[in-house]
């Protein structure tokens, strides 16, 4: 499982903002209490002064430090008892003035045992969903809201009706998302516009992202433009270079609308490099296109067609354009 650098920076920024907000709120709460009962502030100052005294006693030469240490420990315990009595007498818990981390596992550092802590992973998930929501309607597009009512039961000359086919495709996509791993298949969603390819891709993105994997969604046109900018105007700090690294390294890349961009020799080469590079790295890809694998081979290259047919699970979509059906209903 890998983390997207761009998303992790956003997650860390929000993580630090919340940590600072909690610290500021604690300071305000403490100061209000000190105004109400000044003796509490005096006790806190005395407790903070105890530690330097303990260290000095322990390091003092030529004398047994233990008696002095015991006296300081007794003073410390007495101060803590006074603080507890004042707080409980005011109706507060005894530990009200102890600043506790929101995450006891990592102590609000974000890392535990050399790994990203579960608390920071939650921030990462939210940041990634926010990023995906910029291009996908994650609020309305999910497996739970998908409807088969737009697909006909008529088989015609096909072995399956559009509805039967979509029920099969839906089950495959849902199972893919729920059990996604780096051992999963790559998917090629192919069919005419308006049949639900982007909808199911968004549903996959939502579930896989929520399970903690890094997911990047982008259109083929924008991916190729970023790859072209990165190649001919290289700058490691540029947005294009960062985006290309994201395309290469994310756990799941979703490429939308392949085949709608202008094809050039660079695009043909870039598509093969992207597909092949991710296959070699063991990274998973979902591609949406209006073209069949054979048409993709004609448009790009036989090598691309071979990779897609050999390494991707092809899911055909067919039926009537749902957008047109909706417009008819509204007339």
Residues with Cβ < 8 Å from 216, sequence gap 6 or more?
4, 246, 247, 250, 252, 253, 254
Average pLDDT value for residue range 116-126? 93
pLDDT band with cut points at 50, 70 and 90 for residue 58: low
* pLDDT above 70: residue 221: yes
* pLDDT above 90: residue 19: yes
State the chain's mean pLDDT as an integer.
89
Q: Is 48 helix (H, G, I), strand (E, B) or coil?
A: helix
With CA atoms as reference, report the closest residue to 305 among 264, 262, 276, 266.
Answer: 276
* pLDDT above 80: residue 204: yes
Greatest mean pLDDT among 187-196, 228-237, 317-326 lies in 187-196
Average pLDDT value for residue range 298-323? 92
CA geometry: angle 140, 142, 146, nearest 5 deg = 90
* pLDDT above 80: residue 1: no
Average pLDDT value for residue range 229-253? 87
Helical packing angle, 5-36 and 239-249, nearest 10°: 100
pLDDT value, residue 53: 66
Q: Is the pTM of this model over 0.95?
A: no
Look up residue 300 and give its DSSP letter: T
pLDDT value, residue 260: 92
């Amino acid at each position: 499982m890998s983390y997207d650098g761009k998303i992790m920076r956003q997650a860390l920024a929000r993580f630090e903002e919340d940590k600072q907000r909690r610290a500021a709120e604690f300071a305000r709460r403490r100061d209000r209490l000190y105004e109400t009962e000044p003796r509490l502030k005096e006790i806190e100052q005395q407790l903070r002064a105890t530690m330097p005294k303990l260290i000095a006693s322990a390091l003092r030469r030529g004398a047994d430090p233990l008696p002095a240490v015991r006296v300081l420990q007794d003073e410390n315990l007495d101060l803590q008892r006074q603080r507890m009595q004042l707080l409980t007498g005011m109706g507060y818990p005894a530990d009200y003035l102890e600043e506790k981390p929101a995450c006891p596992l990592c102590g609000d550092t974000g890392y535990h045992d050399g790994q990203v802590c579960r608390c920071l992973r939650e921030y990462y998930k939210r940041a990634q969903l926010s990023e995906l929501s910029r291009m996908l309607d994650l609020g309305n597009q999910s497996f739970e809201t998908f409807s088969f009512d737009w697909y006909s039961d008529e088989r015609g000359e096909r072995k399956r009706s559009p509805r039967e086919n979509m029920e099969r495709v839906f089950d495959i996509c849902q199972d893919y998302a729920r059990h996604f791993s780096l051992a999963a298949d790559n998917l090629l969603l192919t069919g005419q516009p308006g049949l639900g390819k982007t909808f199911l891709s968004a549903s996959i993105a939502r579930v896989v992202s929520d399970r903690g994997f890094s997911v990047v969604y982008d259109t083929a046109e924008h991916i190729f433009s970023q790859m072209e900018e990165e190649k001919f105007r290289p700058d490691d700090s540029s947005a294009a270079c960062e985006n290309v690294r994201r395309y290469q390294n994310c756990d799941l890349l979703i490429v939308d609308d392949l085949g709608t961009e202008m094809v050039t020799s660079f695009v043909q080469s870039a598509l093969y490099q992207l597909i092949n590079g991710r296959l070699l790295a063991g990274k998973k890809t979902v591609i949406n296109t209006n073209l069949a694998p054979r048409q993709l081979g004609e448009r790009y290259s036989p090598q691309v067609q071979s990779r897609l047919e050999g390494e991707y699970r092809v899911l055909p979509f067919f039926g009537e354009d749902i957008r047109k059906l909706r417009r008819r209903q509204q007339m």
